[in-house]
């Protein structure tokens, strides 16, 4: 964790993911930069996107949210693979709108999603994997308190090239000690 307080953007909020978000999600998944970085394994379609949202809405082990920048849908965050016994969940995020990348949007959305995981869902640990070349994401995760716990060698394919995946985790106690400046949001 870094010593300087984490600065949250008050214009970044989360809202429940809904079917109305499907067209934007489909558009973003057609962008090779987004598709490859999230590890999408099949060609995207609007029908598959709608089916995924409908499935996520029915599944109590998934919390999918739209990332909003000044009220505009710019990406998504997901807590899934919730293990009620271990009180843990996997975290993932992508900012689909190129103009919304950078400037703390992803960092603020990551904070707000982990806040919900710990405070509302009662999680003890939130974990993630990220490919080793995604240094911008790794930096953002570290700002929110995630710690690299391991390396999954050759676990990710990016443009046909094998890359290591970093396994990172954040414990509730570490999150609660994180110095934060800015407004807290809801998921």
pLDDT at 185: 45
Q: Is the pTM of this model over 0.85?
A: yes
Domains present along the chain, CATH in parentheses = 6-181 (3.40.630.30)
The rounded distance, in Å, linking the Cα atoms of 12 and 72 is: 9
* Mean pLDDT (whole number) for 167-174: 98
Question: For the stretch 133-171, what's the b/e string if a residue is b when 16 or more beta carbons lie within 10 angstroms of its beta carbon?
Answer: ebeebbebbbbbbbeeeeeeeebbeeeeeebbbbbbbbb
pLDDT digits (tens, 9 = 90+) for 83-127: 999 999 999 999 999 999 989 999 999 999 999 999 999 999 999
> CA end-to-end span of the chain, whole Å?
23
Mean pLDDT of the chain: 91
**Mean pLDDT within 126-155:** 95
As a whole number, mean pLDDT of residues 4-11 equals: 91
Task: Give the span between the Cα atoms of 126 and 89, in whole angstroms.
Answer: 5
Residue 43 confidence (pLDDT) above 90: no
Distance (Å, rounded) from C-alpha 49 to C-alpha 57? Answer: 12
């Amino acid at each position: 964790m870094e010593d300087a307080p984490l600065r949250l953007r008050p214009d970044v909020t989360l809202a429940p993911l809904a079917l109305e978000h499907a067209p934007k999600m489909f558009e973003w998944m057609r962008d090779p930069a987004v598709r490859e970085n999230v590890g999408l394994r099949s060609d995207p379609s609007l029908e598959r996107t709608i089916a995924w949202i409908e499935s996520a809405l029915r599944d109590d082990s998934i919390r999918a949210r739209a990332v909003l920048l000044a009220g505009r849908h710019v990406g998504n965050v997901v807590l899934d693979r919730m293990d009620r016994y271990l009180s843990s969940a996997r975290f993932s995020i992508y900012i689909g709108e190129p103009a919304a990348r950078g400037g703390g949007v992803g960092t603020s959305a990551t904070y707000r999603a982990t806040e919900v995981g710990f405070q509302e869902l009662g999680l003890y640990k939130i974990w993630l994997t990220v490919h080793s070349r995604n240094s911008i994401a790794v930096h953002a995760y570290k700002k929110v308190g995630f710690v690299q716990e391991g390396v999954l060698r050759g676990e990710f394919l990016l443009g046909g090239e094998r890359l290591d995946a970093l396994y990172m985790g954040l414990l509730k106690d570490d999150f609660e000690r994180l110095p934060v400046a800015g407004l807290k949001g809801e998921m």
